[in-house]
Structure formats: C-alpha cells, structure tokens
C-alpha cells in the first residue's frame, strides 16, 4: 500500500483480467480511485472485489471499446463519480472478427487475411485508443498532470508472421501516442506506450496452444520468464502514472525481460 497516486482518478480498459487487472489493482494500491472497464460484468466484479477487499476504491463500467457511445459514457461516469480524471490506461484489445471473436490473433497469411478481423482489431485498438484520448482530454488537461498509458506490442515492431491486423494496429497506437505526446505536453500531459511480454490471458492461451513457439519465446527472454501482471505490468504503470515520470513522454517502454534485445 502506498500513496503515490493519492487523490488521482483513473480509467483502465480491459481491466477485468490479465495485465489490465494487474494495472488496475496496482494503481488502486497506490491510492488512485479506479474505474474498472470491461465488456464482461463477471470479470469487472472480480477485479473490483480484489481492489475493494484491500480497502481501496474502484467502480465498474461495462464498456465495449469498439462502441463510441460506450467510450463517452465511461469517461462521463468516471468524472461524475470521482469529480476528475487524471489517468487513462488504454489496455483493451479484441481479437478475431466481430462475428467470430478469438482469444488472440488468428495467425493467417497476409494474402488470405480476414477483412472482418482487420476491422475489429483496428476498431478496438487504435480507433478506441484515439476515441478514449479525445474524450478524456479536457479532464486530463484540467488535471494539470494527466497521464495516458497505451499498449503496443513486440509483434508489431518485428512484424510477427500471420498477424497483419494486430501488428499494424499496435504500431498505429505508437504513432498516435507520439502525436499525443507532442501536442499535449504543453498541458502537463504525458503519453507513453508499454510493450509488454506479460502473462496476460492472451499470452497464456498462446503458450498453451503453441507450446513450441512459446518455448522459443522463453529462450529469447534473458530473464527466462513471462512478466507478472502485478509486479511487472502493474508497477510500470504506477511509475508512468506518477510524479517520477513527469518528464517522460512519447516513449515506448519494453517490459519484456530483455526480449527485444534478441536479434
């Protein structure tokens, strides 16, 4: 327990599980009041309970980040409930097509890639991030020390084979992040990206269903493990949301145990 973020209010999307849950819990442990946003009421309830059982403050918000009205409503509810918004974590990302959701990117050659998956990946990735940033901006500006934390991916940086939509979407988010950082720095707002190799639900599913590829990945991580959603994913978010990172913006933070160093 700490007070690094005491008095701050945060929205974390995709906070019902995985790294989003780890970030929401760790922000709350440092004093932030957290809006736990997710598409699933059950996962929202579990994260909110984890936070409130520790004596910290959280409320849930049903939010499909692919729906613009949901985004506007979530930001409005956060401000109505807590009177302010200081921290926005754009973590949510859907996989597969809207009519055929998937637990992680469906690896398909570029020439055969599914248009529906491309559209849904962008709708819930860079488009949702863009819309949340726009909706949150007046409140982040009013904060005087607003923080936006977006999610990129190593896959996008290397062009992982078979993952055209996810790769492109995550690199688009990094471009959007740099734009936000350059334009909004004058208001005291920082905008950064985390590129995680964290044991999220999607990564665990990939590990369990692609054991050989997962084994190769671990061999290329100097730390020889996937990151923990709390100790690794959550704590870097606390740092970026707090005062010690006030002069860091437009950056990509590789939370990957050294993986990106591997040629």
Give the residue numbers annotated as catalytic, written as ranges. 166
**What is the DSSP secondary-structure string of 80-130?**
HHHS---EEEE----EEETTEEESS-----GGG--HHHHHHHHHHTHHHHH
Rounded to 5°, the CA angle 243-245-251 comes to 155
CB 129 within 8 A of CB 170: no
Maximum distance among all Cα pairs of the chain, rounded to whole angstroms? 52
Task: Summarize the chain as % helix, strand, coil (round to 5).
Answer: 50, 15, 30
Token pair for 39: 């598409």
DSSP SS3 for 132: helix
């Amino acid at each position: 327990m700490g007070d690094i973020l005491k008095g701050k209010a945060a929205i974390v999307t995709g906070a019902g599980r995985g790294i989003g849950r780890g970030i929401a819990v760790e922000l709350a442990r440092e004093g932030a009041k957290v809006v736990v946003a997710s598409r699933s009421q059950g996962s929202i309830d579990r994260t909110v309970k984890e936070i409130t059982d520790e004596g910290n403050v959280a409320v849930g918000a049903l939010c499909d980040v692919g729906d613009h009205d949901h985004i506007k409503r979530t930001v409005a509810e956060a401000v109505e409930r807590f009177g302010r918004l200081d921290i926005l974590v754009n973590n949510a990302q859907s996989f597969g097509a809207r009519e055929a959701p998937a637990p992680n990117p469906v690896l398909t050659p570029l020439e055969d890639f599914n248009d529906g998956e491309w559209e849904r990946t962008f709708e819930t990735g860079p488009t949702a991030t863009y819309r949340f940033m726009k909706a949150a901006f007046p409140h982040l500006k009013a904060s005087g020390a607003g923080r936006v934390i977006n999610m990129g991916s190593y896959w996008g940086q290397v062009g992982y084979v078979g993952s055209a939509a996810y790769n492109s979407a995550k690199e688009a988010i990094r471009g959007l992040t740099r734009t936000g950082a350059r334009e909004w720095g004058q208001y005291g707002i920082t905008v950064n990206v985390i590129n995680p190799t964290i044991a999220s639900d999607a990564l665990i599913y990939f590990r369990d269903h692609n054991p050989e590829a997962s084994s190769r990945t671990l061999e290329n991580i100097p730390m020889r493990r996937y990151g923990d959603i709390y100790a690794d994913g959550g704590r870097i978010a606390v740092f970026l949301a707090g005062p010690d990172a006030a002069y860091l913006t437009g950056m990509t933070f590789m939370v990957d145990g050294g993986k990106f160093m591997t040629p």
